[in-house]
A and B are shown apart, each in its own frame.
Chain A
């Protein structure tokens, strides 16, 4: 199939704490953001699906794939993984001014960064981040970009210059037809995200990372924390709950006691 066009695709990726270490994560009571020091980070799993969708689109129809991340300097690591998987370019939006952004501010910053880079035909985002994020960013980025959106997308195909999209619903899925440009929130893509390769890794570590600060990406507010419409009022410990029978015996003994109790509680 002759590739006449080369589409410009942006993929937003986020660096999140590794779910394996979730139990060690603490919340900062003032900003409501997560304290991540000392906890290994990974690329948000759904962002990898988003990137795979973009790279698959590139393989099929021809595209240049740019990954963008908003985060602290450490987020460069996530961008490097994306480059090693096959992304062409990478940009980090990083500035102290961006800290403490809620989803609306995050969307504003990402959208302004995207505009600064000249806009794209397609913007992919992972639908939701594992660190308990809101799932709101894709639709809100689209609003700031002034382009249509669709989320929970599991498949995308190009047919006669138009996009054919499957969006997951609780009854199955809805088929959409769309034009460019479009912002897409990606659910689990039908194809597993590809691995990094050794040559990808070598390219990623040589790549001169592009950093965009608030100089190029100006937000309306003084800083993101103050500009965010929502804020944390406080944290409250959940009291009561259930006082359970916790068994630390050897499996055979523990199970014996557990089954006894299950029968007593009428659960079996």
Chain B
């Protein structure tokens, strides 16, 4: 077993680091408080080739792989959590479109790959939580269209995305449909103002009122809508969430260590030399390593061609543990920073907020436990 990171992945981390440090961080306040969605950021992800990391070359991607994507997500989230969320989101829709028709891919992929368009996945509903199977948005076929009625909530960038993939129920069949921005009858409802991991990545409610969706926007077969969506959610979605948490966890550890190294007590002793601090840091370091192993093992399995369903257990473990580690490390980082831990300038509260956001995202932690338990049942 070779655990060494390849040169290509090292360079990819460097690419992400430069992008974050030179293009995003200097403008972070404008981005956070801007009134419009910064589409130019999406375009940059496209220019750099990040969106195509897990998309086949024939569809316009570069297929550097899931391990590479995990490293990129971690590295981006390390510098600013929402950057990890963005990468996850942009990669998600193309993965679902692999179940679509050639015509749909020709129509939508080039724009998604270049970053000219953003994609979102919308399955969450007010009553149904995120489990796509409990979908209550209805649709009925009328000639060349599907007519939609219902609401989707907590959809990341739902209002600003040019293409949203949704689940909709027709009787006891669930379809997967592609909703473009221009469709009549679709509107954006309530916008959750979330900082943290949703900085310049607003979370919206989408309302369908007799929305007419062209029939050629059906992805996969009628009644077989769940498969494509779960595939995206369980692979790119899950890995992206795990990677984002991993980035936050590593940031918290490294920041705490740096602080302890430089902080002098009484002008001469380093905080780092205090035993209780050393043990805390050792613990945080260990947790990051554990999370790393779970995350990259999952990514590696996806690279071996495993489907989301086949490695559901491993994906759940990665996300769950990375999520818990992110929260734990941020909490410990606050402790190590003493009184400064909760001040705005040290930024840990913001990271902790992001880590807490991630508990319910990309596979809510408790649902992940359920997934692991279900896998145990199969014995």
Interface residues of A (CB under 8 A from B): 77, 80-81, 84, 192, 195-202, 204-205, 248-249
Closest residue of B by beta carbon distance from A248: B267
A195 to B12, CA, bound (A): 11
A84 to B62, CA, bound (A): 14
**Which of B11, B12, B22, B47 neighbours the largest number of chain A CB atoms within 10 Å of its CB?**
B11
A84 to B7, CA, bound (A): 12
- Which B52-69 residues have C-beta < 8 A from chain A? 52-53, 62, 64, 68
A81 to B47, CA, bound (A): 17
A-binding segment of B13-21, B233-241, B287-295, B301-309: B13-21
Shortest CB distance B338–A (Å): 11
Shortest CB distance B69–A (Å): 10
Known contacts: A84-B11, A205-B11, A248-B264. The answer to whether A198 contacts B19 by CB under 8 A is no
**Chain A CB within 8 A of B50 CB:** yes
Known contacts: A84-B11, A204-B11, A248-B264. The answer to whether A197 contacts B6 by CB under 8 A is no
Closest residue of B by beta carbon distance from A198: B49
A172 to B111, CA, bound (A): 44
Q: Which residues of A contact B22 (CB under 8 A)?
A: 192
A198 to B49, CA, bound (A): 5
Shortest CB distance B356–A (Å): 30
The answer to whether B48 and A195 touch across the interface, beta carbons within 8 angstroms, is yes
The answer to whether B15 and A198 touch across the interface, beta carbons within 8 angstroms, is yes
The answer to whether A198 and B14 touch across the interface, beta carbons within 8 angstroms, is no
A103 to B354, CA, bound (A): 51
Q: Which residues of B contact A196 (CB under 8 A)?
A: 11, 14-15, 18, 48
Shortest CB distance B307–A (Å): 24
* Selected A-B contacts with CB under 8 Å, 18 pairs: A81-B14, A84-B11, A195-B19, A196-B18, A197-B15, A197-B47, A198-B50, A198-B52, A198-B62, A198-B64, A199-B49, A201-B8, A201-B12, A201-B15, A202-B62, A202-B64, A204-B8, A205-B11
Contact with A along B254-282 (1 / 0, CB 8 A): 00000000001001000000000000000
Q: Which residues of A contact B15 (CB under 8 A)?
A: 84, 195-198, 201
Shortest CB distance B260–A (Å): 15
Shortest CB distance B264–A (Å): 5
A198 to B13, CA, bound (A): 10
The answer to whether B47 and A205 touch across the interface, beta carbons within 8 angstroms, is no
Q: Which residues of A contact B11 (CB under 8 A)?
A: 80-81, 84, 196, 201, 204-205
A201 to B11, CA, bound (A): 7
The answer to whether B19 and A202 touch across the interface, beta carbons within 8 angstroms, is no
The answer to whether B64 and A201 touch across the interface, beta carbons within 8 angstroms, is yes
Shortest CB distance A261–B (Å): 17
The answer to whether B18 and A198 touch across the interface, beta carbons within 8 angstroms, is no
The answer to whether B12 and A198 touch across the interface, beta carbons within 8 angstroms, is yes
The answer to whether A197 and B264 touch across the interface, beta carbons within 8 angstroms, is no
Q: Which residues of B contact A81 (CB under 8 A)?
A: 11, 14
Closest residue of A by beta carbon distance from B65: A202
A44 to B343, CA, bound (A): 37
A75 to B264, CA, bound (A): 38
- Which B195-234 residues have C-beta < 8 A from chain A? none
A204 to B12, CA, bound (A): 11
A91 to B309, CA, bound (A): 46
Shortest CB distance A247–B (Å): 9
The 6 closest A-B pairs by CB, nearest first: A198-B49, A205-B8, A248-B267, A197-B49, A201-B11, A196-B15
Q: Which residues of A contact B264 (CB under 8 A)?
A: 248
A249 to B22, CA, bound (A): 33
Shortest CB distance A181–B (Å): 32
A197 to B15, CA, bound (A): 7
Q: Which residues of B contact A192 (CB under 8 A)?
A: 22
- Which B1-35 residues have C-beta < 8 A from chain A? 6-8, 11-12, 14-15, 18-19, 22
A197 to B115, CA, bound (A): 14
A248 to B263, CA, bound (A): 9
Shortest CB distance A73–B (Å): 13
Closest residue of B by beta carbon distance from A84: B11
Shortest CB distance A203–B (Å): 10
The answer to whether A80 and B267 touch across the interface, beta carbons within 8 angstroms, is no
Q: Which residues of A contact B18 (CB under 8 A)?
A: 195-196
Closest residue of B by beta carbon distance from A205: B8
Closest residue of A by beta carbon distance from B69: A198
A200 to B68, CA, bound (A): 14
Shortest CB distance A104–B (Å): 33
A194 to B48, CA, bound (A): 10
Shortest CB distance A201–B (Å): 5
A198 to B46, CA, bound (A): 10
Q: Which residues of B contact A202 (CB under 8 A)?
A: 8, 62, 64
Closest residue of A by beta carbon distance from B68: A198
The answer to whether B62 and A199 touch across the interface, beta carbons within 8 angstroms, is yes
Q: Which residues of B contact A200 (CB under 8 A)?
A: 49
Q: Which residues of A contact B6 (CB under 8 A)?
A: 205
Given contacts A77-B7, A205-B7, 5 further A-B contacts (CB under 8 A): A196-B14, A196-B15, A196-B18, A198-B49, A201-B11
Closest residue of A by beta carbon distance from B51: A198
A205 to B6, CA, bound (A): 9
Shortest CB distance A195–B (Å): 6
A124 to B172, CA, bound (A): 67
The answer to whether B7 and A80 touch across the interface, beta carbons within 8 angstroms, is yes
**Which of B8, B18, B267 neighbours the largest number of chain A CB atoms within 10 Å of its CB?**
B8
Shortest CB distance B67–A (Å): 13
Q: Which residues of B contact A204 (CB under 8 A)?
A: 8, 11
Q: Which residues of A contact B47 (CB under 8 A)?
A: 197
